[in-house]
Amino acid sequence: MKLIQSILTRNPCYTAGRKIAVKGLMLHSVGCPQPKASVFINSWNSASYDRACVHAFIDGNDAAIYQTLPWNHRGWHCGSGSKGSGNDTHIGVEMCEPACIKYTGGSSFTCSDLATARAVAKRTYEAAVGLFAYLCKEYGLNPTADGVIVSHREGHSRGIASNHGDPEHLWDQLNMGYTMDGFRQAVKAGMAGSGNAEDTGSYTKIMGTAIATKEQMQAYIKAANPSVPQAVLDMIPLYLSEGKAEGVRGDIAFAQSCLETRNFGFSGSAVTIDQNNFCGMGVTSNGMKGNSFDTPQLGIRAQVQHLKAYASSEALQNPCIDPRFKYVTRGSAPYVEWLGIQENPQGKGWAAGAGYGAKIVAILKKIVEASATASGLYRVRKSWADAASQKGAFKVLDNAKRCADQNAGYSVFDENGKVVYAGTAATTTYTVKKNDTLWGIAARELGSGPRYTEIKKLNGLTTDVIYAGQVLKIPAK
């Protein structure tokens, strides 16, 4: 099942904001020869369209399901009857109909291509079974209980809907053999089978054991941010230990932190490293600083607990320190892909930005693919931060040393970015005295020479002024 969120935010039904306690599900078909869900979505998403609004459309061409209202919003999909309105209790779902039928009066129609029409009806039926199985699970509904799953026609017979014959009229005239009793049984079987209405087999479960290792996580972040602070590398094991304590994949938490902190560079991030908040927790609007924690471990623990709140209804193993735990609908996002509000079937989630979960998954993929042996390599560079200058990465230290000796200005760095060997041609140290020959050379180089940036960076200088008696390292040419 392919579920796409396409909320009709301009429709008066949505803007009214009325909520319902979901007690059932009502199945409709659109009553016109139009297989494309997009046609209805484009037409109904208007402030002037005050005639109807359903919770979802099922496309007749590809069986994609477009969620058009949050599931717990009150829809305008079935009118009313002598006993009230199903709008107050039921989620309404419309199945699109084949283009090759033509209505001749009421619910009667002719069909110019029976095979195509049946294929459309089959696709929408099967997608509806999957969606209803998912919704029954989400809201704890028994699909075969009286009045839980009804068609529009059955809703009219029960006195809670207007006089329509859908969707049975479509199935009957196409000789599909479908009935609402059969539909309810199919939904029940779907709930007892694979358990997921949506095809979530390829999705990434948040709960479970981490796949990526500490070494892979460190290798990824050092490649993504060569200037990453050592403190960040040191705290990476906390993601695994805190995740393990709660049954949450710690590598997923780390991937999320990489997204939220711009790979711990914090450029453009809503939080700063001193907050020990590596997931943007509490940043609910632009300009907000977010929550702060006393230590990195507590910040990571709160993040893991918040992920567990979304992914599971199980109790926490450690005392709750997540200040926003209580605001989460437990179990509403068991998959990383559902952490984004726009992609979540319930319209819930961690972040509002489009593709939030997919971005985390993309980072996670890079982490898992990071070479497990990368952390054991010696890198030959001008400086650790200058990854572009790297001449090579060696398993054998002596080979790395020889490479550094052959390249002026290069040193050997270990997995943590520390210099383990300064090449013999790397630098020359001079004591500079004012007005002597070296003073003029150094001043000229630092003022405008071709090695200006390199010399300043090597010596940690923030000014162009060189003081008498200063020890100055100048890279050999």
Secondary structure class of 463 (helix, strand, coil) = coil
User: What gap in Å lies between CA 238 and CA 309, rounded to an integer?
Assistant: 19
The model's pLDDT over 9-61, given as tens digits with 9 standing for 90+, comes to 999 999 999 999 999 999 999 999 999 999 999 999 999 998 899 999 999 99
Phi, psi of 131 (to 5 degrees): -65, -45
CATH number for the segment(s) 214-369: 1.10.530.10
Q: In which band, very low, low, confident or very high, does the pLDDT at 437 lie, cut at 50, 70 and 90?
A: low
The closest of 12, 167, 181 to 97, measured between CA atoms, is 167
The model's pLDDT over 149-195, given as tens digits with 9 standing for 90+, comes to 999 999 999 999 999 999 999 999 998 888 898 899 888 888 875 44
Let me know the angle formed at the C-alpha of 164 by 161 and 169, rounded to the nearest 5 degrees.
135
Cβ pair 310, 207 in contact under 8 A: no
Domains 3-192 and 427-475 belong to one CATH topology: no
Q: Is a pLDDT exceeding 60 seen at residue 291?
A: yes
Q: Helix axis angle, 214-224 relative to 250-260, nearest 10°?
A: 10
What type of residue sits at position 197?
A: A
Cβ pair 393, 376 in contact under 8 A: no
Secondary structure class of 109 (helix, strand, coil) = strand
Secondary structure element (H or E) that encloses residue 172, with its range = helix 168-173
Domain positions in the chain: 3-192, 214-369, 377-422, 427-475
DSSP string for 223-278: HH-TT--HHHHHHHHHHHHHHHHHTB-HHHHHHHHHHHTTTTT-TT-SS-GGGT--
pLDDT at 436: 59
Superfamily per CATH, domain 3-192? Peptidoglycan recognition protein-like (3.40.80.10)
pLDDT at 189: 82
Which residues are registered as beta bridge partners of 431?
471
Superfamily per CATH, domain 427-475? LysM domain (3.10.350.10)
Question: What percentage of the chain reaches a pLDDT higher than 70?
Answer: 84
Let me know the angle formed at the C-alpha of 145 by 188 and 163, rounded to the nearest 5 degrees.
105
